[in-house]
Amino acid sequence: MDLHYLTAHELGDLLQRREVSAVEVTEAIIERIKAVDGRVQAYLTRTAEEALEQAKAVDAARARGEEPGPLAGVPMALKDNLCTGGVRTTCASQMLAGWVPPYDATVVRRLKEAGAVILGKLNMDEFAMGSSTENSSFFPTRNPWDLERVPGGSSGGSVAAVAAGEACYALGSDTGGSIRQPASFCGVVGMKPTYGRVSRYGLVAFASSLDQIGPITRDVTDCALVLGVIAGHDPSDSTSADLPVPDYRAALQPEIKGLKIGVPREYFGAGIEPEVETVVRRAIAKLEEMGAICEETSLPHTEYALPAYYLVAPAEASSNLARYDGVSYGLRVPGKDIIEMYMNTRSQGFGPEVKRRIMLGTYALSSGYYDAYYLKALKVRTLIRRDFEAAFSKYDLLATPTSPTVAFRLGEKAGDPLAMYMSDLCTIPVNMAGLPALSIPCGFSQGLPVGLQLIGKAFDEATLLRAAYAFEQATEYHRRRPELGVA
């Protein structure tokens, strides 16, 4: 039995029945990491020792007859922008290459309380800015389905680790598609919950009004399990919603008869690869065949989402990243005075994409440009939100491709930021509206995974999970595993 490719709920069952120990499972996955991470390069920091300690503690609890819960003893890993007390958190940036947080993010604390075994910290685009993980200042992560291709981004390390059996599940963050697009590229399940569903406390901010933490898993059941642990109000995050968290696992009924699904035509526009469109339309036909009522609809302001996003997100980022100044933590490159120290530190500490976005955002907020850019973008954001509101007055869910393309080759778009930005065309509007969405494997194109994006009503992750679960039960795509070679 390959322990490293079992899902969390499968492992949880084995652990609860005492058929394996958490230490055995953890050791197996540590072995797997040793065997394949040289090729995949998902991990920035490995915490094998701490992981084994956590595993031992879970085994000890079970030996005492306690039952610490379904995720206890299941090994997982974290995107490296989630703060882990005592374990360095780099955001894949030279700026924080040696920074060790003194505190745990709320999601990390909740996972630890649930008995999670944390294997380490995963690669990403620097400060979560990018769609390929090539913007990591350490090294790029490879797509386990084709090592010459990108895993997507910015949570590329997280999805690659889950796809390659280097972690049973992972947490990522999604500001414009950073969980869903790589999940689509690597054939795993990735969810961006509703804005406010999961506490952002301890997530190193990129764009605060868009960022959301979410699960990356190998099936929908795991997604429901992990979401159930990390979701819920947090008094440390003013933007977290004080709403009850439903039992997501109980919502997993393979029954979608009568579910109304809108298919927005704007998401199948120019730039979509024909074969991706075919695969996604086939998946939608499958949903229909299963009893859902699917019909074409329109979200007329979709084309403005991307430009508006590239004002709102950089504007917030320019302010969020101002704190990296070399004064009290992180990289410091000395200078003859404080201004020169700021400039040297920020010139050397940030990579080109981060600098580009800081400049874009600074410009958008500048006196004389604010109304034309930032304020206008906020108005567009309202229009996009209203598009969705109108659609959700008719439909329970929306179905779209997650990304217009399958995984592209390393270097293919690295020199063309605009082409790279287009990769998030289908995911960005969801962040702008604060809605929940997930990507599930729905087929293959050129031997590479294709993702189906389902978008739900605010705080209705349960319906999303139910539809995704029904689709998964009716298909086999999520069972295929990459060969970790070159296509």
Binding-site size for other proteins (CB under 8 A) equals: 44
Nearest distance in Å: CB 299, other proteins: 23
Q: Are 215 and 230 spatial neighbours (Cβ–Cβ below 8 Å)?
A: yes
Q: Are 87 and 45 spatial neighbours (Cβ–Cβ below 8 Å)?
A: yes
Alpha carbon distance 242, 153 (integer Å): 30
Site for other proteins in 303-342 (CB under 8 A): 315-316, 318-319, 322-323, 325, 327-329, 337-338, 342
Alpha carbon distance 219, 7 (integer Å): 7
How many residues does the structure list for the chain? 487
> 104 or 266, CB closer to other proteins?
104
Nearest distance in Å: CB 232, other proteins: 15
Nearest distance in Å: CB 212, other proteins: 12
Alpha carbon distance 415, 410 (integer Å): 11
Nearest distance in Å: CB 434, other proteins: 11
Catalytic site includes residue 236: no
What count of other Cβ atoms lies within 10 Å of the Cβ of residue 293? 15
> 82 or 261, CB closer to other proteins?
82
Asked if 367 touches other proteins (CB under 8 A), the answer is yes
Q: Are 200 and 79 spatial neighbours (Cβ–Cβ below 8 Å)?
A: no
Question: Which residue in 93, 137, 155, 178 is the catalytic one?
Answer: 178
The backbone torsions φ and ψ at residue 296, rounded to the nearest 5 degrees and listed phi first, read -70, 145
How is residue 268 annotated by DSSP?
G
Asked if 359 touches other proteins (CB under 8 A), the answer is no
Alpha carbon distance 448, 151 (integer Å): 11
Q: Are 457 and 435 spatial neighbours (Cβ–Cβ below 8 Å)?
A: yes
Per-residue binding string, other proteins, 239-258, x by CB under 8 A, is: x-------------------
Question: Which residue in 21, 93, 137, 154 is the catalytic one?
Answer: 154
Nearest distance in Å: CB 380, other proteins: 16
Asked if 235 touches other proteins (CB under 8 A), the answer is yes
Distances in Å between the alpha carbon of 212 and those of 63, 169, 404? 37, 17, 22
Catalytic site includes residue 328: no
Alpha carbon distance 283, 383 (integer Å): 29
Catalytic site includes residue 79: yes
Structure tokens at 51: 């992981």
Question: Which residue in 21, 79, 132, 457 is the catalytic one?
Answer: 79
Nearest distance in Å: CB 83, other proteins: 4
Spatial neighbors of 33 by CB under 8 A, at least 6 apart, are 43, 46, 119, 166
> 62 or 381, CB closer to other proteins?
381
Asked if 204 touches other proteins (CB under 8 A), the answer is yes
How would you class 476 by CB atoms within 10 Å of its CB: exposed for 0-12, middle for 13-18, buried for 19 or more? exposed
Q: Which of 79, 149, 200, 357 binds other proteins (CB under 8 A)?
A: 200
Asked if 179 touches other proteins (CB under 8 A), the answer is no
Site for other proteins in 56-115 (CB under 8 A): 81-83, 89, 91, 96, 99, 101-103, 105
Nearest distance in Å: CB 384, other proteins: 17
The backbone torsions φ and ψ at residue 262, rounded to the nearest 5 degrees and listed phi first, read -90, 145
> 40 or 91, CB closer to other proteins?
91
| β-strand pairing of 260-264 with 397-401 | parallel
Alpha helices by DSSP H, 64-152: 106-113
Per-residue binding string, other proteins, 377-416, x by CB under 8 A, is: ----------------------------------------
Q: Which of 67, 236, 379, 479 binds other proteins (CB under 8 A)?
A: 236
Alpha carbon distance 259, 396 (integer Å): 6
Active site positions, annotated: 79, 154, 178
Residues that bind other proteins (CB under 8 A): 81-83, 89, 91, 96, 99, 101-103, 105, 200-205, 207-209, 235-239, 315-316, 318-319, 322-323, 325, 327-329, 337-338, 342, 362, 365-367, 370, 374
